[in-house]
Homo-oligomer: A and B are copies of this chain.
Amino acid sequence: MAVMRLGRIAHPDGICFAVIDGPDEAPAEQLVAKEIAGTPFTSPEPTGREWKLSDVRLLAPTLPTKVVALGRNYADHVAEVFKQSADSLPPTIFIKPSTAVIGPGAPIKIPEFATKVEFEGELAVVISKPSKNIKAENWKDHVLGYTICNDVSSRDLQFQDGQWARAKGMDTFCPLGPWIETDLDKLNLDDQKINAFLTHDGHREQKQDSNTDQMIVKMGGILEEISASFTLLPGDVITTGSPAGTAPMVPGDSIEIDIPGVGSLINPIARA
């Protein structure tokens, strides 16, 4: 069976991987979650059990052992956050641990000591097999599909600590989802829109309105560079950096990262 959208769901009897069937952009009540046997990394076969997506809850679509992230990969975002040109401050690699991962709809929880917490909407990929030393031109051989990562970042801790582990890696600071789009040819990575909408006090405003054509290092290069140092395991996530437009979020807000062709990842903000 040709898997297109692959999710992980909590249904009335437990948790499973499922194909999310239905048209792009359709509301949840028009989508069907079809349970699959085995793992998404082999050949997923339908078990025959299915639910309306509106009757189940989407979880993070993968259980990564690590999320390896690229920072400073959009020139406009480097300028807004670091007040420097991307020429003088090249992309850099950092890690978000598995304990930071949450799924769609789960709250991003801000502790008292993080006083300026921002969203970062990013296109991410999920690794399909153990991979080291990937060649840029072969990157699709190592990828199960696309998903969305909100690289939540506490700007104050980011600059205070120097290292970004705490600012970007604390619990709930890595929303992933809503699912994995396994058709790698569906997106044109040279011209793919990335949007973010922040809802504050009931008012929804577009904050990020960018395009992957602004990426400094492209997908193949990112996977080549990261896999030269780190063995990547099935389910691991590589996230490709945020464009400009990041902004603070406070408890009560809701943040939606929207990548047309992949989906929308929506999370409420709460106090930890």
Interface residues of A (CB under 8 A from B): 65-66, 68, 71, 92-95, 97-100, 111, 113, 132, 161-166, 169-171, 228-233
Question: Contact at B163–A93, with CB atoms within 8 Å?
Answer: yes
Q: Which B residues touch A99, using CB under 8 A?
A: 65-66, 230-233
> Nearest Cβ distance between residue A267 and chain B, in whole angstroms?
18
- Distance, CA A169 to CA B95, complexed state (A): 9
Question: Contact at B92–A162, with CB atoms within 8 Å?
Answer: yes
Question: Contact at B230–A93, with CB atoms within 8 Å?
Answer: no
- Copies of this chain held together in the complex: 2
Given contacts A98-B65, A98-B66, contact A161 B92 (CB under 8 A): yes
Question: Contact at A93–B165, with CB atoms within 8 Å?
Answer: yes
Question: Contact at A165–B94, with CB atoms within 8 Å?
Answer: yes
- Distance, CA A132 to CA B99, complexed state (A): 11
Task: List the B residue with the shortest CB-CB distance to A130.
Answer: B99
Question: Contact at A170–B97, with CB atoms within 8 Å?
Answer: no
> Nearest Cβ distance between residue A8 and chain B, in whole angstroms?
18
- Distance, CA A114 to CA B111, complexed state (A): 37
7 A/B residue pairs, CB under 8 Å, sorted by A: A66-B99, A95-B165, A97-B97, A99-B232, A132-B171, A166-B229, A171-B229
Task: List the B residue with the shortest CB-CB distance to A157.
Answer: B229
Given contacts A93-B161, A93-B163, A163-B92, contact A229 B111 (CB under 8 A): yes
Q: Which B residues touch A71, using CB under 8 A?
A: 163
- Distance, CA A75 to CA B165, complexed state (A): 21
> Nearest Cβ distance between residue A79 and chain B, in whole angstroms?
17
Most chain B CB inside 10 Å of its own CB: which residue of A111, A113, A164, A233: A164
Q: Which B residues touch A95, using CB under 8 A?
A: 95, 97, 165, 169
> Nearest Cβ distance between residue A257 and chain B, in whole angstroms?
23
